[in-house]
Structure 1
């Protein structure tokens, strides 16, 4: 029976934290493996003393992990569940250069064999051009082979990579023969030449299982698109054979040559990703109407896009457009053409649950955008419960305008307001304005929860009128500074007890979910 020299044995045992009898058991196991032809005897010493030690230490470490570890006595099904959990946890932290499945294959031979033979561990491929120094074509081939016939998810971010766009084709072309397996194809770039000459191939692709699609070849301000585009209709020209498509994400660049079919889409994001980009795409009222009419649409975000919605062409007497299944709508406020106002005036959404506007501005010089047709207008949003104004600028002059909006949304239960950064002192008085004016007209009688994510100096003065005016109000979420400013005697004077909660920095403001992917694929400016 082959034994290691005692000095080497002691050094290996100490390095691996093994007892002498455990190392002896491993040596016995090695002898058995040699007898069965699974291992070979050590050859003549052909390395330095340190090299010899490292080689033997690695061998016994793998053998120990495979046969002495408690994990390795678990049934295969349990081990695989642990592997999947490791993948999920690793992806929650964003893009990582060494994926969990690769780490697993380096633990021991048994784990490696099990992982390599499990296709579901290899059917998600990620690439981040900012984090990776080279295009991992070889790694992609490995993932395609090991995933066998399983549905395949592709997340590619070519932003912040070096100039020249022949290189992405090195990744894209090997993927095309596997298009029938694609479940996710999500690609970001900051260069409009991303797809080069591949548009015809994208049009012909057969992608029957594709559910998630992101086509975002946006350019920043230092690039030029050339001739602008006025979008009045949507004619699909890529991914035409995608009957299962449920989620689509587009940006300005998508409107030039990358238009997927949207009929089956459930969640749609049309968003400008760069504040300084050349916004040469103009969305017309006809196009906006066609989006609201999509038969399966449940969540819609239209963000920082230029709109062409002439007031004179859109009388508020025309019938409302019915967005039959729309549940969540988000847009930004644009002082030139306001989609938020257009939506409230011209759309009926019987299933709408949440309505969010970012960068809302309600100054007196911006009152040309009405929010309601008339007091007798039938409730167009009977299911609406959450209204969020994010990064808003509001003051005393905005109250009447806001009340017009409130009367359009009759059954709101949760109101969220976060003010713009560095808001002037007069805007911090908004809770008091809301208490004094909103209550007077009986707006939002079913309001149960208010979230004010800003430090308001007048919070103590507004608390009592708010509780008195909104009879169903039972939760107030405020910043910690405002929370600490409310003395116990103020709470004791309230008409009824309510729950006052201090907001932490990490608390989400609204229960909306806009992205089915890791945060590494979104820029910070996109976060709600």
Structure 2
């Protein structure tokens, strides 16, 4: 009364004061409890304690969109390890926040923020990272709450202020967002760039563009569902290039302008948007690893293989059904390149069970006489016939001609059906096959039929040291029996 709080109000204020005192006491008690439960890390020199925290990082802390850290909708399930370390106690929080190396990976999805404003969180994270190089992952949100570009503009601008520290930039977002990543200083340390359009190729008829204020020239570049002509990216320093859902013209232009390129992967390549395709041959003297998959057959033959010569090529993979015309094109490509190919992968899946005749596969394999490793998979490759060929071919034929794949050291077979298991023991009777590593994994891993006599012979070979592995449901059929 008398203008002051009533008795009930005074009691409530007193309870609030006591609650606050109890909360303070509990925090102090928890600090002492944590110190008691962890008597070591906070007593080490700070540089040792910081190193221990760094050792606790998981793979998804370095690559936040590592598949094991995602749920079915592409959103991370785990909180970042640096954040978790900061919640242990005050001492750990101070230690974590004073270890810049813990905060060099920035990742988020384009979803509506929930508790902590994203801009505030990103600014704090960038501050904690000190002046160290940054790895940035940004992905699309696939849930029900999409965000506008206006909402994420300030967040991207905060990242742009640190563009001089970008070491890796991975964008898996609608292409309309690309234009926001302008940068405010040269990105001299940006060695890894992934530009993946998770939306439509065109937006209102305009080409989506990734054009920074300072032209990036990464070492590793991945592009998906964009057009090279709309993106200002230097290729002069590239050693690794991945292109998916792009035009054949973009692929050829990128390879031509990347003289240091050593590894190239092309997937789902077509001719969309191509007005004209370069038709002059070119020779790439550094390309060692070429992986082509799901490329339209006419483009595979008439554009990619016909135009290129790759004398340094050591590894080649083809992920599509092989036809006679494609085999002839590959043979011409290998011979024209005069390459000493060591690793070859052929994936011969098709809509029918009709297999390519063995003589055409032999023709292809005879064009790569220095082959050390061979990977065959699919339902259209004559696996049984090739096993028979290996079982009957000596290292040297009559007249001094080398036999079939005389230098082969590793053979991996993935097939729907393998019935001629009896050829395998005969393969290992040849002296030059004694150390051959053979891995067989039927597509129907529950269905392996080997007669008793052949099974005994293979088991004896394994007991004698033969490197034979038959995988059934992830387990070694012979070694797990």
Report TM bin, short chain: 0.7 to 0.9
Residue 445 of structure 1, CA deviation: 1.7
Q: Following the alignment from structure 1 to structure 2, what is the Cα–Cα distance between the partners of residues 131 and 86?
A: 30
1:192 maps to which of 157, 160, 175: 175
Residue 183 of structure 1, CA deviation: 1.1
SS of the aligned residue for 1:142 comes to helix
Instruction: Classify 1:236/1:266 alpha carbon distance in 2 versus 1 (closer, same or farther; 3 Å).
Output: farther
SS of the aligned residue for 2:377 comes to strand
**1:406 matches 2:365:** yes
Structure 2: runs of 5 or more not aligned: 1-12, 70-75, 394-401, 476-481
- 1:461-500 → structure 2 map (5 Å cutoff): 461-464=422-425, 466-467=427-428, 471-472=432-433, 474-479=436-441, 485=450, 487-491=454-458, 498-500=466-468
Q: Residue 255 of structure 2 corresponds to which residue in structure 1?
A: 291
Q: Following the alignment from structure 1 to structure 2, what is the Cα–Cα distance between the partners of residues 236 and 187?
A: 11
**Per-residue Cα deviation, 1:236-284 (whole angstroms, up to 9, x for no partner):** 95464435x2111111224353231111011111112xxxxxxxx6333
1:249 maps to which of 222, 232, 248: 222
Q: Following the alignment from structure 1 to structure 2, what is the Cα–Cα distance between the partners of residues 205 and 469?
A: 63
Please say if residues 354 and 387 of structure 1, whose CA atoms lie closer than 8 Å, have aligned partners that are also in contact: yes
1:143 maps to which of 101, 120, 125: 125
Instruction: Classify 1:340/1:148 alpha carbon distance in 2 versus 1 (closer, same or farther; 3 Å).
Output: farther
Q: Residue 414 of structure 2 corresponds to which residue in structure 1?
A: 453
Q: Residue 35 of structure 2 corresponds to which residue in structure 1?
A: 66
Q: Residue 303 of structure 1 corresponds to which residue in structure 2?
A: 267
Instruction: Classify 1:369/1:127 alpha carbon distance in 2 versus 1 (closer, same or farther; 3 Å).
Output: farther
Q: Following the alignment from structure 1 to structure 2, what is the Cα–Cα distance between the partners of residues 313 and 186?
A: 30
**1:323 matches 2:297:** no
Instruction: Classify 1:402/1:166 alpha carbon distance in 2 versus 1 (closer, same or farther; 3 Å).
Output: farther
SS of the aligned residue for 1:397 comes to coil
1:388 maps to which of 345, 359, 369: 345
Please say if residues 175 and 200 of structure 2, whose CA atoms lie closer than 8 Å, have aligned partners that are also in contact: no
Residue 143 of structure 1, CA deviation: 1.1
Q: Residue 173 of structure 1 corresponds to which residue in structure 2?
A: 157
Q: Following the alignment from structure 2 to structure 1, what is the Cα–Cα distance between the partners of residues 338 and 473?
A: 35
SS of the aligned residue for 1:83 comes to helix
Residue 446 of structure 1, CA deviation: 0.8
Q: Residue 264 of structure 1 corresponds to which residue in structure 2?
A: 237
Question: Which has the larger displacement, 435-444 or 451-460?
Answer: 435-444
TM-score norm. by structure 2 comes to 0.75
Residue 389 of structure 1, CA deviation: 2.3
SS of the aligned residue for 1:213 comes to strand
**1:430 matches 2:350:** no
Structure 1: runs of 5 or more not aligned: 1-42, 230-234, 273-280, 508-528
Instruction: Classify 1:52/1:265 alpha carbon distance in 2 versus 1 (closer, same or farther; 3 Å).
Output: same
SS of the aligned residue for 2:364 comes to helix
**Per-residue Cα deviation, 1:263-309 (whole angstroms, up to 9, x for no partner):** 1011111112xxxxxxxx6333x851650562221211111121499
Residue 354 of structure 1, CA deviation: 2.0
Please say if residues 259 and 286 of structure 2, whose CA atoms lie closer than 8 Å, have aligned partners that are also in contact: yes
**Per-residue Cα deviation, 1:314-333 (whole angstroms, up to 9, x for no partner):** 6xxx8x63322222221113
Please give the root-mean-square deviation of Cα atoms over the aligned residues, in Å. Answer: 4.1
Residue 447 of structure 1, CA deviation: 0.9
Q: Following the alignment from structure 2 to structure 1, what is the Cα–Cα distance between the partners of residues 448 and 314?
A: 28
- 1:499-510 → structure 2 map (5 Å cutoff): 499-503=467-471
Instruction: Classify 1:136/1:408 alpha carbon distance in 2 versus 1 (closer, same or farther; 3 Å).
Output: farther
Residue 188 of structure 1, CA deviation: 0.7
Instruction: Classify 1:367/1:214 alpha carbon distance in 2 versus 1 (closer, same or farther; 3 Å).
Output: closer
**1:219 matches 2:199:** yes
